[in-house]
Structure 1
Amino acid sequence: MGRNYYVFSSGRIRRRENSILIEYQDRDGKQQKRFIPVENVDQIFFLGEVDLNSKFLDFAAKNNIVLHFFNYYGYYTGSFYPREKFLSGELLVRQVEHYLDNEKRLSLARKFVEGAIHNFKRNIEKRGFDIVSKISEYQERIKHVATIPELMSCEAHARKLYYSTWEDITDWPFEERSMQPPLNELNALISFGNSLTYSVVLKELYHTHLNPTVSYLHEPGTKRFSLALDISEIFKPIFVDRIIFKLINLGKIKRENHFLQESNGVFLNDEGRRIFVEEFENMLQQTVLHRKLKRKVKYQSFIRLEAYKIIKHLLGEDEYKPFKVWW
């Protein structure tokens, strides 16, 4: 597995022999060049405006490099997803069958919500919040829902209870979840972190035989890889929420220093994004002893392992059990 690279500065990116050349201006306005050996690259996140051409995209595709693009405000705008190298007609048929069969679809969708609720409940249960028991009630209700909308309603109510603890955890105002645009600093952090997580999940799916457009919790649609949205629900409490708590409580992110107050919302500024990305990447590379494999596994690797479990479920080899954090 290669490295993740994050490009914050605006500039130009192109191929130079068997390397990636990034030309940009540093903070002092000086022109800089950076070479990255292509065999060392897994995915690149562009958080600044970049110029590139079809020759570079062809080079990236041949080397199975996924590119993710974000706009000036840190909004995820899209990914360059090379032509799929892992194709399985049988698995695609099984994916579609599980979507078309209401019972099978609901079973998988329920697992995604089950994992998500467990993981965000895990984030607060050691803090002594009484509200954990109320969240557990919704966790129990999802076992009995009959439709996807009912399931999503349970998840939404449980998440709202979860978010109600954030002001106590961070001592920052939150009020409620707002996305397009985020209306305060906590919402800006959540939106940016969720976009990064979605991007990483999408890249991990690219390295499996799963089709990322066939999903179960989120309705499949055009212009999005909705299976990545499904799986992201499980990992956002770990990859995003825990980072937010850490950065705020350690004073690394400050409301007065790291945000842009715009007429259309609140967004992380460049320095804020750098701080978040550094912590995000550090977390992805951390390892924990896997209970079943009996070896240390990177946080990022849990995503692909999750995809493999879904594949086994679709093929009828093993029932899917969602990832539930135990630490």
Structure 2
Amino acid sequence: MKKTYYLFNPGRLSRKDNTLKFTPVDENGVEGSPKYIPIEGVSDFFCFGSLDANSALYNFLGKAGIAVHFFDYYEHYTGSFAPKEYLLAGKMQIEQTKRYIDRKKRLEIAKKFVSGAAFNMTKNLRYYINRDKDLTPVLETIEQYAQHIDNTSAIDELMGIEGNIRQAYYTAFDGIISTGFQMENRSKRPPQNEINAMISFGNMLCYTLCLSQIYHTQLNPTISFLHEPGYRRYSLALDIAEIFKPVLVDRLIFRLLNKKEIQARDFDHQVNSCLLKEPGRKTFVKAWEERINETFRHPVLKRHVSYKHLVKLECYKLTKHILGMEEYKPFKARW
């Protein structure tokens, strides 16, 4: 089974026959012991440290269908090397573009993303309400906002409702997390405290997961419906990630903090910023990989699938909707 490799240390990636060789390099330029990675077992790379590689290496990765995702010092996603888009089809691109241009059809799909995300947020809240957390006022606020989703007539209006729902949802984090960390306000670029740092890091992983799964379908990742398509941005991944962030990212944050798997020592506090240190990132990534590879019995397919595969299934459902084969219904967690 292919797996994702996370490169936290700076180093050099090269080809050694039909194997990949990664040589870590410290801040003084001293090379460490190389590690050899069989290319057959690689799904993609996440690079958080500087990576030294040449065009021959990227040609090798491209032929093997391996993507490389890059992140800056603040853990922001900056871009990807993606192999040739061998699954892109002209008919799909035309139909996807037509759905985007048609204001009514675009809004129809965008509403699905927001309603799916809102439902999954309320599912998280109900879980903790059933465990004696006083979150009912937040739940009621979100449900009131969600009632207006179907009546929106413009993307900007829908984005405003989505923003209000998420803002209300984040106020519940302090009631869910019981280890003394405070959410305060949602802050980005850079995050201002520990919970914001974990949300930003987790959302970035979710976005990149969605991008990776879109790549394995005929969908064009640059043509989106809820978020505005932009230059150098795979905005469809942002759309799909909205549905899965409550299920994959937020639940993981609650677990890691409440079980003290990540603690105060795992954060690096700078002036006006807070980031996960390398040990904290490794703990988060390990739990993330366990989460997305966890399997459950799919109620429709009647077989076990992983959460990672569930994201791909979501892309397939969207594909069928765009081609007029089947109405798109967003994933809504039932557990």
TM-score under structure 1 length normalisation: 0.96
Deviation at residue 72 of structure 1 after TM alignment: 2.6
DSSP 3-state at the match of 2:128: coil
2:277 and 2:72 map into 1 onto residues whose CA distance is: 12
Are 1:94 and 2:103 matched, yes or no? Answer: no
Are 1:160 and 2:167 matched, yes or no? Answer: yes
1:71 and 1:15 map into 2 onto residues whose CA distance is: 24
Consecutive unaligned residues in structure 2, runs of 5 or more: 130-134
Are 1:297 and 2:332 matched, yes or no? Answer: no
1:61 and 1:112 map into 2 onto residues whose CA distance is: 32
Is contact 2:23–2:31 with CA below 8 Å preserved after alignment?
A: no
Question: For residue 132 of structure 2, what is the aligned residue in structure 1?
Answer: none
1:222-245 Cα offsets, whole Å, 9 max, x none, are 010000110011111112111100
Are 1:146 and 2:153 matched, yes or no? Answer: yes
Is contact 2:20–2:39 with CA below 8 Å preserved after alignment?
A: yes
Question: For residue 75 of structure 1, what is the aligned residue in structure 2?
Answer: 76
Is contact 2:210–2:311 with CA below 8 Å preserved after alignment?
A: yes
2:64 and 2:50 map into 1 onto residues whose CA distance is: 23
Deviation at residue 74 of structure 1 after TM alignment: 2.1
Question: For residue 114 of structure 1, what is the aligned residue in structure 2?
Answer: 115
Question: For residue 251 of structure 1, what is the aligned residue in structure 2?
Answer: 260
Deviation at residue 75 of structure 1 after TM alignment: 2.2
Deviation at residue 18 of structure 1 after TM alignment: 0.8
DSSP 3-state at the match of 1:182: coil
- 1:76-225 matches, within 5 Å, as 76-128=77-129, 129-130=135-136, 131-170=138-177, 171-225=180-234
1:228 and 1:75 map into 2 onto residues whose CA distance is: 15
1:36-69 Cα offsets, whole Å, 9 max, x none, are 1111111111122221111111111111111111
DSSP 3-state at the match of 1:43: strand
Deviation at residue 30 of structure 1 after TM alignment: 7.3
2:7 and 2:156 map into 1 onto residues whose CA distance is: 39
- 1:255-294 matches, within 5 Å, as 255=264, 257-294=265-302
Consecutive unaligned residues in structure 1, runs of 5 or more: none
The aligned length equals 325
2:195 alignment partner AA: L
Deviation at residue 302 of structure 1 after TM alignment: 0.6
DSSP 3-state at the match of 1:68: strand
- After TM superposition, the runs of 4+ consecutive aligned structure 1 residues lying more than 4 A away are none
Superposed CA RMSD? 1.4
2:48 and 2:123 map into 1 onto residues whose CA distance is: 31
1:272 and 1:88 map into 2 onto residues whose CA distance is: 41
DSSP 3-state at the match of 1:78: strand
Deviation at residue 103 of structure 1 after TM alignment: 0.6
Are 1:48 and 2:57 matched, yes or no? Answer: no
1:283 and 1:240 map into 2 onto residues whose CA distance is: 9
DSSP 3-state at the match of 2:331: coil
1:61-86 Cα offsets, whole Å, 9 max, x none, are 11111111122332222111111011
Deviation at residue 25 of structure 1 after TM alignment: 5.1
1:186-206 Cα offsets, whole Å, 9 max, x none, are 111011111111111111111
Deviation at residue 167 of structure 1 after TM alignment: 0.8
2:158 alignment partner AA: L
1:117-139 Cα offsets, whole Å, 9 max, x none, are 11111111122221212211111
Question: For residue 234 of structure 1, what is the aligned residue in structure 2?
Answer: 243
2:202 and 2:309 map into 1 onto residues whose CA distance is: 18
1:66 alignment partner AA: A
TM-score under structure 2 length normalisation: 0.94
The change in CA–CA distance for 1:44 and 1:154 in structure 2 (over 3 A counts) is same
1:309 and 1:41 map into 2 onto residues whose CA distance is: 26
DSSP 3-state at the match of 1:321: coil
2:249 alignment partner AA: V
Provide the identity percentage. 43
2:107 and 2:72 map into 1 onto residues whose CA distance is: 35
Question: For residue 24 of structure 1, what is the aligned residue in structure 2?
Answer: 24
